[in-house]
Amino acid sequence: MRQNPSPMGTQARRPRKVLVLDVGGTHVKMRASGQSAGRQFDSGPALTAEQMVEKVQALSRGWRYDAISIGYPGVVLHGKPVVEPHNLGCGWVGFDYEKAFGKPVRMINDAALQAIGSYKRGRMLFLGLGTGLGSALIVDGVIAPTELAHLPYKRGRSYEGYVGERARKRLGTKKWRKAVDDVVERLSAALEVDDVVIGGGNARRLQRLPKNARRVSNSKAFIGGLRLWQTPIT
Protein backbone atom coordinates (compact mmCIF):
# COMPACT_ATOMS: atom_id res chain seq x y z
CA MET A 1 0.00 0.00 0.00
CA ARG A 2 1.22 3.47 -0.85
CA GLN A 3 0.40 6.70 0.90
CA ASN A 4 -0.67 10.08 -0.36
CA PRO A 5 0.55 12.31 1.20
CA SER A 6 3.90 10.90 2.30
CA PRO A 7 4.38 10.31 6.02
CA MET A 8 6.54 12.11 8.49
CA GLY A 9 9.99 10.84 9.38
CA THR A 10 13.19 10.09 7.49
CA GLN A 11 14.30 6.77 8.89
CA ALA A 12 15.27 4.55 5.93
CA ARG A 13 15.04 1.16 7.53
CA ARG A 14 11.91 -0.41 8.88
CA PRO A 15 12.06 -0.25 12.70
CA ARG A 16 11.91 -3.48 14.64
CA LYS A 17 9.46 -2.18 17.25
CA VAL A 18 6.83 0.52 16.85
CA LEU A 19 4.75 2.39 19.42
CA VAL A 20 1.31 3.18 17.98
CA LEU A 21 -0.73 6.07 19.38
CA ASP A 22 -4.40 6.47 18.49
CA VAL A 23 -5.31 9.97 19.65
CA GLY A 24 -9.04 10.47 20.13
CA GLY A 25 -11.37 13.03 21.62
CA THR A 26 -12.03 10.86 24.68
CA HIS A 27 -8.94 8.67 25.08
CA VAL A 28 -5.41 8.22 23.79
CA LYS A 29 -4.90 4.51 23.12
CA MET A 30 -1.39 3.11 22.84
CA ARG A 31 0.28 -0.20 22.12
CA ALA A 32 3.80 -1.28 21.20
CA SER A 33 5.15 -4.15 19.14
CA GLY A 34 5.57 -7.24 21.29
CA GLN A 35 2.99 -6.13 23.86
CA SER A 36 -0.06 -8.38 24.26
CA ALA A 37 -2.26 -5.56 25.56
CA GLY A 38 -2.53 -1.85 25.05
CA ARG A 39 -2.89 1.00 27.50
CA GLN A 40 -4.86 4.23 27.44
CA PHE A 41 -5.48 7.49 29.25
CA ASP A 42 -8.16 10.17 29.11
CA SER A 43 -7.78 12.99 26.59
CA GLY A 44 -10.50 15.67 26.36
CA PRO A 45 -10.71 19.38 25.44
CA ALA A 46 -7.79 20.48 27.62
CA LEU A 47 -5.17 17.99 26.40
CA THR A 48 -2.21 19.62 24.61
CA ALA A 49 0.42 17.93 22.47
CA GLU A 50 3.05 18.45 25.18
CA GLN A 51 0.82 16.87 27.83
CA MET A 52 0.11 13.96 25.50
CA VAL A 53 3.83 13.27 25.10
CA GLU A 54 4.41 13.42 28.86
CA LYS A 55 1.57 10.99 29.58
CA VAL A 56 2.63 8.59 26.83
CA GLN A 57 6.20 8.52 28.10
CA ALA A 58 5.03 7.86 31.66
CA LEU A 59 2.56 5.15 30.68
CA SER A 60 4.94 3.41 28.25
CA ARG A 61 7.78 3.16 30.76
CA GLY A 62 9.30 -0.29 30.40
CA TRP A 63 8.25 -0.69 26.77
CA ARG A 64 10.95 -0.76 24.10
CA TYR A 65 10.31 0.78 20.69
CA ASP A 66 12.35 2.28 17.87
CA ALA A 67 9.74 4.51 16.22
CA ILE A 68 6.27 5.94 16.72
CA SER A 69 3.11 6.04 14.63
CA ILE A 70 0.47 8.61 15.56
CA GLY A 71 -3.15 8.69 14.45
CA TYR A 72 -4.20 12.33 14.74
CA PRO A 73 -7.86 13.47 14.98
CA GLY A 74 -7.63 16.16 12.33
CA VAL A 75 -6.13 17.20 9.02
CA VAL A 76 -2.56 15.98 8.42
CA LEU A 77 -0.53 17.23 5.44
CA HIS A 78 2.90 15.82 4.60
CA GLY A 79 3.00 14.06 7.95
CA LYS A 80 2.21 17.13 10.07
CA PRO A 81 -1.06 18.41 11.55
CA VAL A 82 -2.24 21.60 9.86
CA VAL A 83 -5.44 22.23 11.84
CA GLU A 84 -5.90 22.13 15.61
CA PRO A 85 -8.18 19.26 16.69
CA HIS A 86 -11.83 20.06 17.44
CA ASN A 87 -12.06 17.95 20.59
CA LEU A 88 -8.64 18.52 22.21
CA GLY A 89 -6.59 21.40 23.54
CA CYS A 90 -4.29 23.69 21.54
CA GLY A 91 -0.63 23.46 20.56
CA TRP A 92 -0.76 20.45 18.18
CA VAL A 93 0.09 22.36 15.02
CA GLY A 94 3.80 23.23 14.78
CA PHE A 95 4.78 20.95 17.68
CA ASP A 96 8.04 18.99 17.15
CA TYR A 97 6.94 15.42 17.90
CA GLU A 98 10.24 13.79 16.96
CA LYS A 99 12.21 16.09 19.24
CA ALA A 100 9.74 15.60 22.10
CA PHE A 101 9.77 11.81 21.88
CA GLY A 102 13.40 11.47 20.82
CA LYS A 103 12.29 8.90 18.22
CA PRO A 104 11.36 8.91 14.51
CA VAL A 105 7.66 9.73 14.16
CA ARG A 106 5.16 9.17 11.38
CA MET A 107 1.78 10.86 11.69
CA ILE A 108 -1.41 10.40 9.73
CA ASN A 109 -5.09 11.14 10.25
CA ASP A 110 -6.57 8.74 12.81
CA ALA A 111 -9.25 7.46 10.42
CA ALA A 112 -6.57 6.83 7.79
CA LEU A 113 -4.56 4.86 10.35
CA GLN A 114 -7.50 2.52 10.99
CA ALA A 115 -8.21 2.35 7.28
CA ILE A 116 -4.67 1.15 6.56
CA GLY A 117 -5.08 -1.53 9.20
CA SER A 118 -8.42 -2.63 7.74
CA TYR A 119 -7.61 -2.59 4.03
CA LYS A 120 -7.92 -5.72 1.90
CA ARG A 121 -8.29 -4.73 -1.76
CA GLY A 122 -9.89 -2.44 -4.35
CA ARG A 123 -11.68 0.79 -3.41
CA MET A 124 -12.39 0.94 0.32
CA LEU A 125 -14.15 3.67 2.29
CA PHE A 126 -13.48 3.84 6.02
CA LEU A 127 -15.90 5.69 8.31
CA GLY A 128 -15.07 6.12 11.98
CA LEU A 129 -18.07 6.68 14.24
CA GLY A 130 -16.84 8.25 17.45
CA THR A 131 -16.81 11.68 19.02
CA GLY A 132 -17.02 12.97 15.46
CA LEU A 133 -16.88 11.34 12.03
CA GLY A 134 -13.55 10.19 10.62
CA SER A 135 -13.11 9.12 7.02
CA ALA A 136 -10.49 7.79 4.65
CA LEU A 137 -10.49 6.37 1.14
CA ILE A 138 -8.07 3.76 -0.20
CA VAL A 139 -8.01 3.18 -3.96
CA ASP A 140 -5.96 0.25 -5.23
CA GLY A 141 -3.53 0.53 -2.34
CA VAL A 142 -3.21 4.33 -2.32
CA ILE A 143 -4.42 5.96 0.90
CA ALA A 144 -6.21 9.29 0.62
CA PRO A 145 -7.32 10.79 3.95
CA THR A 146 -10.57 12.68 3.41
CA GLU A 147 -12.47 15.32 5.36
CA LEU A 148 -16.08 14.35 4.71
CA ALA A 149 -17.32 15.08 8.23
CA HIS A 150 -17.96 18.79 7.76
CA LEU A 151 -19.47 18.68 4.27
CA PRO A 152 -23.12 19.83 4.18
CA TYR A 153 -25.64 17.03 4.55
CA LYS A 154 -29.16 18.33 5.28
CA ARG A 155 -31.09 20.92 7.29
CA GLY A 156 -28.01 23.08 7.57
CA ARG A 157 -26.00 20.38 9.31
CA SER A 158 -22.95 18.43 8.20
CA TYR A 159 -22.53 14.65 7.99
CA GLU A 160 -20.94 14.76 11.43
CA GLY A 161 -23.97 16.70 12.62
CA TYR A 162 -26.03 13.58 12.04
CA VAL A 163 -23.72 10.66 12.84
CA GLY A 164 -21.32 12.03 15.48
CA GLU A 165 -21.77 11.42 19.20
CA ARG A 166 -23.55 14.72 19.82
CA ALA A 167 -25.97 13.82 17.05
CA ARG A 168 -26.67 10.44 18.62
CA LYS A 169 -27.56 12.12 21.90
CA ARG A 170 -29.69 14.73 20.12
CA LEU A 171 -31.54 12.34 17.80
CA GLY A 172 -31.65 9.26 19.97
CA THR A 173 -29.93 6.02 19.02
CA LYS A 174 -32.77 4.74 16.81
CA LYS A 175 -32.85 7.81 14.54
CA TRP A 176 -29.06 8.01 14.65
CA ARG A 177 -28.84 4.48 13.24
CA LYS A 178 -31.10 5.47 10.34
CA ALA A 179 -28.88 8.48 9.68
CA VAL A 180 -25.80 6.23 9.62
CA ASP A 181 -27.49 3.94 7.07
CA ASP A 182 -28.32 6.90 4.84
CA VAL A 183 -24.87 8.49 5.09
CA VAL A 184 -23.12 5.20 4.29
CA GLU A 185 -25.40 4.65 1.29
CA ARG A 186 -24.84 8.17 -0.06
CA LEU A 187 -21.07 8.18 0.36
CA SER A 188 -20.67 4.64 -0.99
CA ALA A 189 -22.56 5.56 -4.15
CA ALA A 190 -20.76 8.88 -4.61
CA LEU A 191 -17.29 7.37 -4.21
CA GLU A 192 -18.11 4.11 -6.06
CA VAL A 193 -16.43 1.88 -3.49
CA ASP A 194 -16.22 -1.92 -3.34
CA ASP A 195 -15.86 -2.14 0.41
CA VAL A 196 -17.15 -0.06 3.33
CA VAL A 197 -15.50 -0.39 6.73
CA ILE A 198 -17.09 1.06 9.86
CA GLY A 199 -14.99 1.58 12.96
CA GLY A 200 -14.82 3.86 15.97
CA GLY A 201 -16.31 3.56 19.42
CA ASN A 202 -19.91 3.95 18.27
CA ALA A 203 -19.74 1.22 15.63
CA ARG A 204 -20.82 -1.20 18.35
CA ARG A 205 -24.12 0.69 18.68
CA LEU A 206 -25.27 -0.45 15.24
CA GLN A 207 -27.65 -3.40 15.56
CA ARG A 208 -27.26 -4.24 11.89
CA LEU A 209 -24.70 -3.01 9.42
CA PRO A 210 -25.51 -1.03 6.29
CA LYS A 211 -25.41 -2.95 3.01
CA ASN A 212 -21.93 -4.08 1.90
CA ALA A 213 -20.37 -2.79 5.14
CA ARG A 214 -18.18 -4.57 7.68
CA ARG A 215 -17.34 -3.57 11.23
CA VAL A 216 -13.80 -3.47 12.63
CA SER A 217 -12.46 -2.90 16.12
CA ASN A 218 -10.14 -0.09 17.18
CA SER A 219 -7.32 -2.67 17.25
CA LYS A 220 -7.01 -2.11 13.49
CA ALA A 221 -5.28 1.18 14.33
CA PHE A 222 -2.40 -0.84 15.81
CA ILE A 223 -2.07 -2.86 12.60
CA GLY A 224 -2.21 0.38 10.63
CA GLY A 225 0.52 1.87 12.78
CA LEU A 226 2.80 -1.07 12.04
CA ARG A 227 2.02 -0.94 8.32
CA LEU A 228 2.83 2.78 8.29
CA TRP A 229 6.49 1.88 8.73
CA GLN A 230 6.61 -0.83 6.09
CA THR A 231 8.29 0.04 2.80
CA PRO A 232 6.20 -0.24 0.75
CA ILE A 233 3.14 -0.39 3.00
CA THR A 234 1.24 -3.64 2.43
Region 153-181 average pLDDT = 96
Same domain? 82 vs 156? no
pLDDT of residue 234: 42
Q: Is 198 helix (H, G, I), strand (E, B) or coil?
A: strand
Region 178-190 average pLDDT = 95
Same domain? 107 vs 191? no
| Domain range enclosing 151 | 120-216
Using the 8-state DSSP alphabet, how is residue 4 labeled? Answer: S
Same domain? 93 vs 139? no
Same domain? 96 vs 129? no
Residue 4 clears pLDDT 70, i.e. is over it: no
Same domain? 146 vs 109? no
> The domain that contains 38 carries what CATH number?
3.30.420.40
Give the Cβ contact number of residue 166 at 10 Å: 12
Query: How high is the mean pLDDT of the chain?
Result: 90
Number of domains composing the chain: 2
Residue whose C-alpha is closest to residue 120's, from 146, 145, 140 = 140
Same domain? 35 vs 57? yes
pLDDT of residue 5: 42
pLDDT tens sequence across 64-112: 999 999 999 989 999 999 999 988 999 999 999 999 999 999 999 999 9
Structural domain includes residue 55: yes
pLDDT of residue 13: 59
Same domain? 106 vs 175? no
Kind of pairing, strands 133-139 and 123-129? antiparallel
Residue 60 clears pLDDT 80, i.e. is over it: yes
Structural domain includes residue 232: no
The 3-class SS string of 107-173 reads: EEEHHHHHHHHHCCCCEEEEEEECCCEEEEEEECCEEEECCCCCCEEECCEECHHHHCHHHHHHHCH
Angstrom CA distances, 103 to 107, 120, 222, stand at 13, 30, 18
pLDDT tens sequence across 120-161: 999 999 999 988 899 999 999 999 878 899 999 999 999 999
Structural domain includes residue 144: yes
Structural domain includes residue 83: yes
Same domain? 148 vs 193? yes
Same domain? 81 vs 9? yes
Kind of pairing, strands 67-72 and 18-23? parallel
Region 172-189 average pLDDT = 96
Same domain? 138 vs 179? yes
Model confidence at 228, in pLDDT bands (50, 70, 90)?
Answer: very high
Structural domain includes residue 70: yes
pLDDT of residue 172: 97
Model confidence at 11, in pLDDT bands (50, 70, 90)?
Answer: very low
Same domain? 141 vs 176? yes
Structural domain includes residue 53: yes
Q: Provide the b/e sequence for 137-162 (b: ≥16 CB within 10 Å).
A: bbbeeebebbebbeeebeeeebbbbb
Region 163-190 average pLDDT = 96
Structural domain includes residue 233: no
Amino acid at 67: A
Structural domain includes residue 234: no
pLDDT of residue 42: 96
Q: What is the dihedral of CA 231, 122, 80, 128, to 10 degrees?
A: -130
Same domain? 107 vs 137? no
